[in-house]
Amino acid sequence: MKNIALLTSGGDAPGMNAAIRAIVLSAHHYNYNLIGYYHGYNGLINRECKSLKLADVNGIIGRGGTILKSARCNAMHSEQGVNQAILTLENDKIDALIVIGGDGSFKGAIKLAKHWQGQVIGIPGTIDNDICETDYTIGFSTAVNTAIEAIDKIRDTADAFERVFLVEVMGRRSGHITFNVGIATAAEQILSFENFDCTDQAARLNDLSNDIKVVQQNRHAGYLIVIAENLWPEGNTNLAAQITNKTGIDCTPCILGHIQRGGAPVAKDRILATKLGIAAVQAITEDKTGIMIGESNGAVVTVLLQHATQKTKEVSQRLIKAQHDILSVSNQG
């Protein structure tokens, strides 16, 4: 008999609810008590919680967001905040804590594990897919699909007007969403941290403008640029204005924003979340701690949280090269 606690932290990601459901069902299977803390680490610090029962997770597998709410909790960056969180876990007699979130949330979990005797298990939940030692994070596939759906629609106007669109996608400072969405929408350009050095802004603007003019002359079609958020130093809306000025062709900025974080999770995220949720509870039965449950080559793996947070997972070089090679051909005619 164990008391397990669960929270979701950082940016919400489609599939978090599916993971919560799997954890509730597995905990029930092992006869464990399960408490959910609300609003990320704030729920630990302010002791906002609820016992989670089977009835709480009926019908949530297909819902975006998280029934436990999420938050970015500044207090966890201070020793006082971490101690307060630990005090709550001790007072509530928690044996194991499952944290569903991104690398920031895992760093918080590592701090808790340093001074708290209970088991700490992480489940990767972020649309950014930037966590090492797991092929995918929960929410990434849905975010990519959502962005593709939106950009396919923008493509119609781009082609009809032979117009340029600069579409910004999320990912913080990592290009997994940018590259996957760019490739899947046959974007004329993919601009991300991994392939676009903005140090010489004037030169980059020149290259881009020349390419736009050549492609439009060759193809008489739209020109779609998929760009990572936080890339262009003066902001992507600004970049669109600069392109318009330079080429004399309208370049419309379009920021997809939070639609990428919401909506019903696709099958891949529901299934991944279910597998990881079940494995997290299984790991608790085996007295494991300080680990993330991930997936590698289709198999569930356990990895030290320290390793998972050591660096940001890079976009595959093969994907970057594929885009580069395809682009050089497709933009010719």
- Give the distance, in angstroms, between the CA of residue 241 and the centroid of all CA atoms in the same chain: 29
C-alpha 64/C-alpha 61 separation (Å) is 8
- Give the distance, in angstroms, between the CA of residue 64 and the centroid of all CA atoms in the same chain: 13
**In the complex, minimum distance from the CB of residue 10 to ligand FBP, in angstroms, rounded to a whole number:** 4
Residue 269 annotated to the active site: no
Among 13, 42, 233, 41, which residue's Cα sits nearest to residue 139? 13
The answer to whether the beta carbons of residues 138 and 131 sit under 8 Å apart is: no
**Tokens of residue 83, six digits:** 């101690």
Spot the catalytic one: 12, 92, 103, 128.
128
Work out the number of other CB atoms within 10 angstroms of the CB of residue 199.
Answer: 7
Identify the residue whose tokens are 């099958």: 267
Q: Please report, as residue ranges, which positions from 278 to 307 form the binding site for ligand ADP (by CB under 6 A).
A: none
84 three-state secondary structure? helix
C-alpha 142/C-alpha 266 separation (Å) is 5
9 binds, among ligand FBP, ligand ADP, none (CB under 5 to 8 A by kind): ligand ADP
Among 200, 195, 199, 198, which residue's Cα sits nearest to residue 182? 195
* Contact string 105-144 vs ligand ADP (x = CB under 6 A): x-xx--x--------------x------------------
For ligand FBP, give the closer residue by CB, 208 or 273. 273
For ligand FBP, give the closer residue by CB, 261 or 275. 261
For ligand FBP, give the closer residue by CB, 163 or 261. 261
Q: Which of 6, 22, 76, 291 binds ligand ADP (CB under 6 A)?
A: 76
199 three-state secondary structure? coil
Write down the H helix ranges in 139-249: 140-161, 176-184, 201-219, 236-247
Q: What is the DSSP string of 115-134?
A: H--SEEEEEEB-TT--BTT-
Q: Which of 2, 8, 10, 15 binds ligand ADP (CB under 6 A)?
A: 10
For ligand FBP, give the closer residue by CB, 128 or 188. 128
For ligand FBP, give the closer residue by CB, 221 or 262. 262
36 binds, among ligand ADP, ligand FBP, none (CB under 5 to 8 A by kind): none
C-alpha 20/C-alpha 108 separation (Å) is 19
103 lines the binding site for ligand ADP (CB under 6 A): yes
**In the complex, minimum distance from the CB of residue 235 to ligand FBP, in angstroms, rounded to a whole number:** 14
261 binds, among ligand FBP, ligand ADP, none (CB under 5 to 8 A by kind): ligand FBP
**Tokens of residue 326, six digits:** 């395809």
107 binds, among ligand FBP, ligand ADP, none (CB under 5 to 8 A by kind): ligand ADP
Number of shown-chain residues binding ligand ADP (CB under 6 A):
18
Q: Please report, as residue ranges, which positions from 23 to 52 form the binding site for ligand ADP (by CB under 6 A).
A: 40-41
Catalytic sites, residue numbers: 128
Q: Which residues lie near ligand ADP (CB under 6 A)?
A: 9-11, 40-41, 72-73, 76-77, 101-105, 107-108, 111, 126
